[in-house]
A and B are shown apart, each in its own frame.
Chain A
Amino acid sequence: MDGLRRGDLWRMAWRTLLLQASFNYERQQGLGWAWALQPALERLHADPERRRERLAAHTAYFNTQPTLASLALGAVARLEEQRAAGAGPDDEAMTRVKGVLGAALAALGDRLYWFTLRPFVACLGVLMVLAGSWLGAVALWVCYNLFHLGVRFLGVFWGYRAGTAVLEPRLRGRFERLTEVLAVTGAVLAGVTTAWLLAPAGQPRPLVFEAVLVAGLGLGFVVGLKPRPSLAEWALGAGVLCVVAAWFR
């Protein structure tokens, strides 16, 4: 049995980009997970029968936040390596480890990427566009991918190095601190965006604009408390009311 090489980990890292290529309700990221882990299994299991059995087992249900899935992937590759050497966990334990890693990384990653970084870069991009720069979209894309693609590629290496200890307090702490810093900075950024909307380049907007903006903010806070109707449905309804009001004025 050969151990995993750096090139295998790079191939896995590239393949994480297709983690959700065949996302579905039954196994969610299961197929993408097996696809990403395939280079490791090819290296570790020379016996085709054994390799196929492991590959088929990895097509089972798996789900986590897609960026941080790289950490789980690296950690599980490490376990597969130990297993191929005759020392790793059995099938049941492997499934349990995947489940635990998936759930823990989802809790961490959802907060960082979906609830904080995504609104942060959106706000940054919008502010730049409102200030007259077409580079808002570039800023949005670059800022997000510094954290996203960086972790997506390097995460496989971190996970492989740490094994199941990938969720040790030090790494967790770093992610949590980053979330905190982005949320506080984001609140300030959203404040600056609001101020710019009220008085772009120091020129106060017409009173109607300011009043409707504040009404929209207020409505948005109330709407956000309930999942249904969705924000898109509220936006559609509010837009229709505006058209009706303007039509018959």
Chain B
Amino acid sequence: MSWHVLATVLLGGLAALDATPVAQTMLSQPLVTATLLGAIWGDWRVALEVGVVLQLLAASTLPIGSRAPEDYATGGVVGAGVALLAAAQHPFLMVQESAALVGVFAGVVTAILGVPLVKWQRRRNEGLSRWCEDEVRRGHEGAVGSAQRAGVVLAFGVGVGYSAICLALGAWLLGPLVAGHSLRLARAWALAQPLWIGLGLAQIVQAFVRQRVSRVVGYLAAVAVAWFLLIVTGH
């Protein structure tokens, strides 16, 4: 199991890089990281259950301007990681569902608590950019590349460190809960999963509809037609 944990923590670092400093290819989105973790741990079911919920909650979290959004990059990795760790020890359906519940909790908490860390990195980078301008004016053009490298290394280091701490805390605090109260937690999952999915899906619908009546009608018509076709054809 140790290499699984190591791979999870490293993925946390990569996700932290993709979120803002490098390329923004959406590798850091919870559904992508959960799928990768599902492959690493060999448990798609739990990983994707957590990934779907966190992805829907993360889809409307926008990195616009200087706003520091919730850190769903690390949250997605930690959420799926905690769930997989908890489920790995007890491969029963009820335990898997309770593991998914604690995984989503761990992911959301990690995402919320990650905001001050993102702000801290940005403040540190302020000093870096001032230093860089001074160095360039002094004749050291390579300072721009050095500053960029420093920014990347800092983001990766923070991502790895934060993922490791959250994963360890999540497994330590929530793991015994899953083992001891799986029936209650599985019951809670039956309520929380549709509620979370609804919350996230509503934000996505709002993003498309943008208060235009024609699009609201399009959305509702799609629900009705697709539902009818599903019931009639069965697939």
**Chain A interface (Cβ within 8 Å of chain B)?**
17-18, 20-28, 30-32, 34-35, 38, 48, 51-53, 55-56, 59, 63, 66-67, 106, 110, 114-116, 118-123, 125-126, 129-130, 134, 136-138, 140-141, 144-145, 148-149, 183-184, 186-202, 204, 208-210, 212-221, 223-224, 230-236, 238-239, 242-243, 245-247, 249
Contact = CB atoms under 8 A, between A and B. Distances in A.
Interface of B: 20-27, 29, 31-32, 34-36, 38, 44, 48, 51-52, 55-66, 70, 101, 104-105, 108-109, 111-112, 122-126, 128-130, 132-133, 136-137, 139, 141, 144-145, 147-152, 155, 184-185, 187-188, 190-192, 194-210, 215-216, 218-227, 230-235
Contacts of A121: 26
Contacts of A140: 26, 29, 31-32
Given A141-B27, A231-B199, A239-B195, 17 more contacts: A31-B144, A32-B148, A34-B144, A52-B141, A55-B141, A63-B65, A114-B64, A118-B59, A119-B203, A122-B31, A137-B29, A145-B26, A187-B205, A187-B209, A195-B225, A217-B202, A249-B187
Contacts of B184: 243, 246-247
Contact of A231 (B26, B60, B194): B60
Q: Is the interface of B mostly helix, strand, loop or mixed?
A: helix
B19 to A, nearest CB: 9
Contacts of A134: 35, 38, 44, 48
Q: Which of A24, A187, A212, A231 has the most CB of B within 10 A?
A: A187
Across chains A and B, which 10 residue pairs bring their CB atoms closest together, nearest first?
Answer: A216-B198, A220-B202, A191-B222, A22-B151, A195-B226, A246-B188, A24-B125, A202-B234, A137-B35, A122-B59
Given A122-B31, A195-B223, A239-B192, A219 B22 contact: no
B192 A238 contact: yes
B90 to A, nearest CB: 19
Contact of B226 (A145, A192, A236, A243): A192
Contacts of B122: 23-25
A213 B32 contact: no
B215 A195 contact: no
B222 A188 contact: yes
Nearest to A193: B201
B147 A22 contact: yes
Contact of A216 (B149, B187, B194): B194
A119 to B, nearest CB: 4
Contacts of B202: 216-221, 223-224
B188 A18 contact: no
A188 B221 CA distance: 8
A141 B32 CA distance: 8
A129 B132 CA distance: 45
Q: Which of B32, B196, B199 has the most CB of A within 10 A?
A: B199
